[in-house]
Amino acid sequence: MASLAPSFGSGAMTNNFNDMKNANVILIAGNNTAECHPLAMRWVLKAQKNGAKIIVVDPRFNRTAKVADIYAPVRPGTDIAYLSAIAKYILDNKLYDETYIRENTNALYKVNPDFKFQDGLFSGFDGEGSYNKDSWTYQLDSDGLPIQADSLDDPDCVLMKLKGHFKDYTFKKASEITGMPVDKMKLVAETFVNNRPGTILYALGMTQKSVGTQGIRMYAIIQLLLGNMGMPGGGINANRGEPNVQGSTDLALMAHILPGYIPIPTDAHPTLNDYINTVGISNGKKLISLLKAWYGDKATPENEYGYHRIPKRDSGISDATYVPIFEKMNQDAYKMGFIFGQNPVVSTPTLDMALAGLSKLELLVVSEAFETETTSFWLHPDFNSKDIQTEVILLPAAVAFEKDGTMTNSSRWIQGKKAVVAPKGESMPDGDMIYEIMKRLKKSYANSNDSKDKAILELTWDYPVLDHGIDIESVLKEMNGYNLKTGKLLNSGSEIQSLKPGESSSGVGGLYTGVITEEGNHSLRRDNDDPSGLGVHPNWTFSWPDNTRVLWNRGSTDKNGKPRDKDRAIVSWNGNRWVGPDVLHIAAKDKAPNTPEGSKVFSNAEGKGALFRGPFTMPQQNIPDVTLKSGYDPNVFKVALISNEGGIGDGPLPAHYEPLESPVKNPMFSQQSNPTAAPVELPEFQKYGKAKDYPYVLTTYMVTEQFLSGGVTRNTPQLNELMPSNFAEISKSLAKKAGVKSGDPVKISTARGDVTVSAMVTDRMQPLKVDGREVEVVGVPWGWGFRGLVQGESVNQVTNSGYEPNTGTPEYKACACNVTKGGK
Amino acid sequence: MPKLTRRSFMKFTAASIAAAALADKKRVHAEKDDVDRAFPLMTAGATTAYGLCHFCSVGCGIEVKIKDNKVISTEGHPDHPINEGALCPKGRSMKEMTNSDERVTHPLIRKPGSDKWEPISWEDAFDKIASKVKDVREETFTKTVDIDGEEVRVNRTEGIFSLGSAEIDNEEAYLYTKFNRALGIHNFTHQAEI
Ligand code: SF4
């Protein structure tokens, strides 16, 4: 979500599954909906039945393509090229929604004259893998606000910068890069542009690339230009993977954030004042509310609300954490580790790196419902378990039906459920395990006077214990937050901003506020009524933020608050107040459309959709002359900036770079691949192959019947019957070259080693014409391993651990490989 | 029944599964008694409860049939606005997954150099984990770092990493973050990143 947040203000699926029926066109690119999100497909098909056109772009003619109106193939890892051609088509032919981009985007903002882009590099490159972003800024007036051009033809304005930037991406050029035929690409462009509103569906097929963030930025740019944001049937719909991955991201199981997307304090912010000065007023208030939830009465202005109890991140490192953890494991950085509900010995690219890393630990604690390749890595066929000194504790986890709790689906619905059966055997919910371990730590530190141990000793942890474990609803209440003056549950995250710092608590910084109020637990609401017929279902569970179903929906109305499309009137201003089936977002609900608060469409630093995304700081005006006392001074809120956007590490605009391993030289620039990609840390594992040895493109994916790493589904006979073994999908021409037929073993080798699976020779795979020659693509499902009722070699043994520099997501989707007849 | 403390509950589950089943009857949140559904024989006497699919993030609702504290069927919940009574094969398999004999049902330990699992009690497992966390935290804690000549308090535990999970509930994920951060753990992420 590293691209949606800087583009709009927060990153999540913008609309919802039911809303897709309102679309007139759906572009599915980077997501095999029918296969991986089968019940989302229901709503794609309803749209199609209503007359919408379905476009699928994918390297493989997949299950979704089968029912699409248009299918266009693409070489893995090159999406930015064809999307840039679509952007060029929109810009050259002025097919953008002019009113929308004038009012709601930064199209008119004037860009710093020092900003340049030459031969694949933006201005400010340090020659070593990072950028100084000082020239990626706006021209500012004396108040620090962006200067706006009078006309969209002003050569300095963002729109003209875009036009210049994309000018070389003709359909022909983009076709040479992507292998997508020119006429197909034109048809995709025309169909998507001429049928509005249109929505875009993507998933890991877009993000598992070394240019993933910029690929999604293309979606943001196109949807802003077409005026599709905020519209029912529009938006950008990231279909996420695991059942609660939206929730776990919101709750910040990540190194660079705290719950509610509050930026993590770093060593560049020695005091709470410094932190608030850097991240802005709104995030500052959110952090204080979180500290009040975590440290209660022990969080006071005098101790900076317990600010130092949160570990401060090293400001010199990037957000990427997953691959670096395995790198550091191999460099002996850790003595122990926790792995809760995750199977990295199937899912980590360059698997030998994960196996070697885990072998170096003294203790590994794993919580799982089933034995997996990770719990039992010491039984790996390549190991002699005698040599592995890691002690492993496996905690049996209760499963979904056995515990109370909420999960947040991809479209931000916080859905509650109750335990319906007892945990099997002695298995236990993960929450109770965590509770018990912390209880013991509190006890063992009880006599400590060391300041560092206050983080543990004073942590609020007194959850009521019921007959089956801790009271999960009390945790949800802490997350929702309280008005500390009244002791009542908060109703909206906006109260954290309106109350004084320290007067509210919320463990998620207000993001989930409203899910449980004095009225009751809204996650358990099950009224499926949809009075508007627009798929809003306002009383079905609770959708963050504030029960809003379509993000940025203020933009579905014109500047006077009148719906832009009367058939899609999801919010509107009736002269006195905002009404409609959905909750207004992001403008103030009690303010008229022509007021500053009532006209706000996006929540990033500028409040405008970012076609061009450089750093920007929204300053406060009329700052009083005060000297702050050190540490924390409430006056910091009078002087700090309002909000801050740091920009994206690899550029303010997307550009086509080849994957880290590619069969061709970059046809656009002499800069071959993403210039900010991280360097190799473990040369013994992280090897790169050359096109002459590894001429084909390997891509990986999932099948309906085996879920992700297979840790659960490969233990489930009814699913194993449907999908009993792994395979490699290859074209007829490649099968001929390799001398194999369907069912024969094929060896897939990369610079990291080889795996052998059965060949599936199919017309679904076709060689692509790239830069004048044919490029073969090989597809292999990745969720296989050496444990479970059915087993198979993991293709991640040979995938590339090079990753996207902004997010840390490895480039699983485009590796260089060779395919030969297998011997096993 | 009398309110149990956490500790006694754990002893209690270990001691008597039958009694636990009794206690857990209270936890079946029945919505309606089944009388005349499509499969009267299989579901006769079963209760119907509401569940959520635990595979992809579409978040389908499931109608769960329960008999004798066991899930006997999982069908798409007709009221759920997204799946409207339908499920994909994975959603259907929630019953088999929950009841599976392959599940781990007791805490286990694998000793250094060993080739097998051995059972360990919850008490011993928790004690062992907590004491190792404390040892490693004490050994590898960084209180301050020097940034341009200024001593900055950072309070980091360097020697423990933590992964996971997008497979646990929100409340659990929240507690997991709170737990890790309070311990000073900063090498922390999960599958959302990959
Ligand atoms: S039933 Fe299938 S589509 Fe629905 S949530 Fe489960 S896995 Fe996803």
Its ipTM equals: 0.98
Residue B49 contacts A where some CB pair is shorter than 8 Å: yes
Q: Which of A258, A268, A712 sits opposite B97 (nearest CB)?
A: A712
Share of chain B above pLDDT 90, in %: 74
pLDDT in tens, A451-493: 999 999 999 999 999 988 999 999 999 999 999 999 999 999 9
Q: Can you give the pLDDT at residue B2? A: 37
Average pLDDT of span B153-164: 97
At B16, is the pLDDT very low, low, confident or very high (cuts 50, 70, 90)? very low
Share of chain A above pLDDT 90, in %: 98
Q: Can you give the pLDDT at residue B36? A: 52
Average pLDDT of span A771-779: 95
At B42, is the pLDDT very low, low, confident or very high (cuts 50, 70, 90)? confident
| Ligand 1 atom nearest B58 alpha carbon | 5
Answer whether B159's CB lies under 8 Å from A328's CB. no
Which residue of chain A has the CA closest to B121? Answer: A426
In this complex, do B55 and A342 lie within 8 Å of one another by their Cβ atoms?
no
Q: Can you give the pLDDT at residue B29? A: 56
Q: Residue A357: phi, psi to the nearest 5?
A: -65, -50
pLDDT over 60 (residue A823): yes
Q: Which residues contact B15 (CB under 8 A, 6 or more apart)?
A: none
Residues A65 and A194 in one domain: yes
Nearest CA-CA distance, residue A331 and chain B, Å: 12
For residue A639, tell me if it sits in a domain.
no
Q: What is the pLDDT of chain A when averaged over all its residues?
A: 97
Rg (CA), chain B: 23
Distance of alpha carbon B120 from alpha carbon A776, whole angstroms: 52
Q: Which residues pair with A363 in a beta bridge?
A: A336, A391
At A1, is the pLDDT very low, low, confident or very high (cuts 50, 70, 90)? low
Question: Coil, helix or strand for A198?
Answer: strand
Residues A67 and A205 in one domain: yes
Average pLDDT of span A350-370: 98
Average pLDDT of span A256-283: 97
Distance of alpha carbon A256 from alpha carbon A11, whole angstroms: 15
For residue A429, tell me if it sits in a domain.
no
- Alpha carbon of B62 to ligand 1 centroid (Å): 10
Single pTM value for the model = 0.95
pLDDT over 80 (residue A301): yes
B60 lines ligand 1 (CB under 6 A): yes
What's the CATH number where A98 sits?
3.40.228.10
At B22, is the pLDDT very low, low, confident or very high (cuts 50, 70, 90)? very low
Q: Can you give the pLDDT at residue B24? A: 44
B94 lines ligand 1 (CB under 6 A): no
Q: Residue B67: phi, psi to the nearest 5?
A: -140, 135
In this complex, do B189 and A704 lie within 8 Å of one another by their Cβ atoms?
no
pLDDT in tens, A103-129: 999 999 999 999 999 999 999 999 999
A593 burial (CB, 10 Å; 0-12 / 13-18 / 19+) is middle
Q: Which residues pair with A768 in a beta bridge?
A: A775
pLDDT over 80 (residue B39): no
Residue whose Cα lies nearest atom 2 of ligand 1: it is B88
Residues A95 and A222 in one domain: yes
Residue whose Cα lies nearest atom 6 of ligand 1: it is B91
pLDDT over 60 (residue B15): no
Centroid of chain to Cα A813? 16
In this complex, do A254 and B190 lie within 8 Å of one another by their Cβ atoms?
yes
Other Cβ atoms within 10 Å of A93 Cβ, number: 10
> Tokens standing for A210?
């070394």
In this complex, do B169 and A322 lie within 8 Å of one another by their Cβ atoms?
no
In this complex, do B52 and A435 lie within 8 Å of one another by their Cβ atoms?
no
Q: Can you give the pLDDT at residue B6? A: 39
CA atoms within 13 Å, Cβ hemisphere of B169:
30
pLDDT over 80 (residue B18): no
Question: Coil, helix or strand for A383?
Answer: coil
For residue A286, tell me if it sits in a domain.
no
Residue B43 contacts A where some CB pair is shorter than 8 Å: no
Class (C level, CATH) for B47-99: mainly beta
CA atoms within 13 Å, Cβ hemisphere of A43:
27
Average pLDDT of span A78-93: 98
Which residue of chain B has the CA closest to A430? Answer: B172
pLDDT over 60 (residue B23): no
| Ligand 1 atom nearest B52 alpha carbon | 5
Q: Which of B1, B29, B100 sits opposite A420 (nearest CB)?
A: B29
Residues A708 and A814 in one domain: yes
Average pLDDT of span A233-253: 94
pLDDT over 70 (residue A504): yes
Q: Can you give the pLDDT at residue A11? A: 86
Share of chain A above pLDDT 70, in %: 100
Average pLDDT of span A235-257: 94
Domain boundary among A221, A241, A261: A241
What's the CATH number where A743 sits?
2.40.40.20
Residue type, A60: R
pLDDT over 60 (residue A288): yes
At A10, is the pLDDT very low, low, confident or very high (cuts 50, 70, 90)? confident
Distance of alpha carbon A549 from alpha carbon A542, whole angstroms: 9
pLDDT over 70 (residue A181): yes
Residues A70 and A174 in one domain: yes
Q: Which of B86, B108, B163 sits opposite A339 (nearest CB)?
A: B163
Distance of alpha carbon A609 from alpha carbon A14, whole angstroms: 14
Domain boundary among A601, A631, A661: A601
> Tokens standing for A80?
């930015």
For A188, A472, A767, B85, the CA distances from A183, given in Å and listed in that order, are 9, 56, 17, 41
Distance of alpha carbon A244 from alpha carbon B22, whole angstroms: 30
Residues A66 and A213 in one domain: yes
For residue A284, tell me if it sits in a domain.
no
pLDDT over 70 (residue A316): yes
Nearest CA-CA distance, residue A94 and chain B, Å: 37
What domain range is A791 assigned to?
696-821
Other Cβ atoms within 10 Å of B78 Cβ, number: 12
Domain boundary among A601, A624, A657: A601
Q: Can you give the pLDDT at residue B31? A: 59
pLDDT in tens, A20-63: 999 999 999 999 999 999 999 999 999 999 999 999 999 999 99
Q: Fill in the DSSP letter of residue A297.
A: G
Q: Which residues contact A103 (CB under 8 A, 6 or more apart)?
A: A559, A601
- Alpha carbon of A532 to ligand 1 centroid (Å): 26
Average pLDDT of span A530-558: 98
Question: Coil, helix or strand for A335?
Answer: coil
pLDDT over 90 (residue B32): no
Q: Can you give the pLDDT at residue B71? A: 97
pLDDT in tens, A138-172: 999 999 999 999 999 999 999 999 999 999 999 99
Q: Which residue has the tokens 């929505």?
A: A199
For residue A49, tell me if it sits in a domain.
yes
Our count of domains for chain A comes to: 3
Q: Which of A369, A422, A440 sits opposite B20 (nearest CB)?
A: A422
Where are chain B's structural domains?
Answer: 1-38, 47-99, 108-193
Distance of alpha carbon A429 from alpha carbon A470, whole angstroms: 10
Q: Can you give the pLDDT at residue B30? A: 54
Average pLDDT of span A339-366: 97
A115 burial (CB, 10 Å; 0-12 / 13-18 / 19+) is buried
pLDDT in tens, A397-440: 999 999 999 999 999 999 999 999 999 999 999 999 999 999 99
